[in-house]
Amino acid sequence: MPLNMDSKTVPTLGETLKQLGMLQSALAQQLTETLELPLEQAFGRILKQPAITESHPFLNSFSDNLNEYLEQTGKKNNALCDSIIQCPAMQQADHSGILLDDEIFLNNLFFSMALSSKNIPYGLTIQCSTVKCISARAPLKGPLFLKDGNQPVRLSDLSNSQLKSRSFCNLPTPFQISISAPADQQDSRWKRLREMWNTKTFTCAEDAFIAINTELGKQIKYATGTEIVFLDERFTSFLAAKQLLNAQLPLADMIFDATLRSLILNIKETTIDSDDNFVLGHDLTDFFYFKSEQKLELLAIENCTTGAELILKRRSDGTVLARVGKRELVRMLEDGRLFCDRFLGYFVRCFGTGLKALGGTSQQDSVGLYQSILRKSNTQLQFMNTPFENLCFRDELTFLAGAPFFEGIDSSLLDSINQSSTDNLGSFIELIKTRKVKQLIGNFQSCHYLLKNAVKNKERQ
């Protein structure tokens, strides 16, 4: 039975890992095997890739898709594509915060440090689509954007009701950054922050994310030598469009074959409702969200009685939103009218590319459940060729990275990098990289919500 998370006693790291282990958590196994390693040795394990020769054509295809997307968006970077081939890993689904908070900063600092240890010059981070963190952020940390005592910082004038049921790619345009006044308006660092970004207007919120976090990448590169390149959810849609047209991948069959689609979605729903799930939410849509003026619509997909078209219906009331063939579905993804749900997003970024997904606490077990859904589906109705099957069900497809590894650090150490000079960041890295993971991770409090989820799930059964 999981911990009584209503207790005021904070469980130790050992107790936490024991309880996660009882839940058959992949996260617990990862950490147990890593705790005694110095942080810089853990990097090698995190970026280690399984020797699957079949991954190369899929990885090369991803690199080509990435190169095409970067060219189309005016951000051509051959060195980034080469880095992906050299070390196929990606920071996946980072929070959508427009400004830098400690979690986003530490996630990408950690990733950059790991890549730097292998002399990889570039890394890639993909933004997730949640926006609930836009209205108010935790105290800011990092070498550029600084904390504001205990006062949350508003980054937009949009209300919580305006943000509800929206994606980062579905916020009102044009998008203006509006930074709330800090408690200490005389702070020179805050003054710099406001001068750089306050009232600055972007064509859309995605461009604001890219512009501001590019500054994060530059600051981290100064200290590590490896630059993190940020892409938003539009790249995931672009990738899905490309994979729909790739005959070596099963994505088109998963979407257009009514029997296969129904099988996968039913197994997905059963998995979400099962005892094994303490990480996946119940926001069920048929692979995609449909972008309307007001929000992202949950979809129900049906096949037309004649022809090869799909009918996209609003799940809540059955209203027909579109009738599409494969080419039109591709255009809707490219035009930003459709976005992948979490399951499909991981499928196109991770399962179908050969990349390892670096991410937060819930990702480790989420990816395992997604693998289980695909494995059960493929067992009941074979839809994968052998090379893709080997790629999809490979080991160590995901790994914990980022902020959780720094939870046990004395707050004064983090405060030491809250200065305008990035020299402090280099000193911080030298200080922590030889420490063992168990000395840095504290009691791993960031995963306690998973144990709470397990308790709620048990009570619901």
Looking at the domain assignment, is residue 46 inside a domain? yes
Quickly count: other Cβ atoms within 10 Å of residue 232's Cβ.
24
| pLDDT beyond 70 at 92 | yes
| pLDDT beyond 80 at 235 | yes
Which pair of tokens denotes residue 361?
Answer: 């606490």
Query: Cα separation of 256 and 288, whole Å?
Result: 13
CB of 268 within 8 A of CB of 280? no
Domain that holds residue 195: 13-235+397-460
Q: Between the CA atoms of 330, 332, 337 and 339, what dihedral angle is there, to the nearest 10 degrees?
A: -10
Please, is 386 exposed, middle or buried when counting C-beta atoms within 10 Å of its C-beta (0-12, 13-18, 19+)?
exposed
The conformation of residue 94, written as its DSSP 8-state character, comes to E
Looking at the domain assignment, is residue 354 inside a domain? no
CA distances from 310 to 23, 238, 286, 299 (A): 39, 20, 12, 12
Strand (E) or helix (H) holding 62: helix 55-72
In this predicted structure, what is the pLDDT of residue 370? 94
Query: Cα separation of 143 and 424, whole Å?
Result: 8
Looking at the domain assignment, is residue 384 inside a domain? no
CB of 98 within 8 A of CB of 177? yes
**Whole-prediction pTM:** 0.89
Q: What is the pLDDT of residues 162-172, one digit of tens each?
A: 666 566 667 78
Q: What is the pLDDT of residues 30-39, one digit of tens each?
A: 888 889 999 9
Question: Is the model more confident about 199 or about 139?
Answer: 199
Q: How many domains does the chain have?
A: 1
CB of 220 within 8 A of CB of 227? yes
Looking at the domain assignment, is residue 328 inside a domain? no
Q: What is the pLDDT of residues 321-351, one digit of tens each?
A: 999 999 999 999 999 899 898 899 999 999 9
In this predicted structure, what is the pLDDT of residue 294? 67
The residue assigned the tokens 């710099």 is 192
On the CB side of 146, CA atoms within 13 Å amount to 22
The verdict on whether omega for the bond into residue 174 sits within 30 degrees of 0, i.e. cis, is yes
Q: What is the pLDDT of residues 422-453, one digit of tens each?
A: 566 788 888 888 889 998 888 888 888 888 88
Looking at the domain assignment, is residue 193 inside a domain? yes
Question: Is the model more confident about 292 or about 265?
Answer: 265
What sections of 168-291 are H helices per DSSP? 188-197, 205-224, 233-244, 251-256, 258-272
What sections of 310-422 are H helices per DSSP? 326-334, 342-346, 361-380, 386-392, 411-415
Looking at the domain assignment, is residue 355 inside a domain? no
Q: What is the pLDDT of residues 182-212, one digit of tens each?
A: 555 566 656 776 788 888 899 988 888 788 7
Which DSSP string corresponds to 23-52?
Answer: TT-HHHHHHHHHTTSBHHHHHHHHH-----
Looking at the domain assignment, is residue 95 inside a domain? yes
In this predicted structure, what is the pLDDT of residue 375? 97
Q: What is the mean pLDDT of the chain?
A: 82
| pLDDT beyond 70 at 146 | no
* Pairing assessment for the beta strands 175-176 and 201-202 based on DSSP bridges: antiparallel
Which pair of tokens denotes residue 332?
Answer: 């809707």
In this predicted structure, what is the pLDDT of residue 154? 64
In this predicted structure, what is the pLDDT of residue 328? 96
In this predicted structure, what is the pLDDT of residue 83? 92
Looking at the domain assignment, is residue 426 inside a domain? yes
The conformation of residue 182, written as its DSSP 8-state character, comes to P
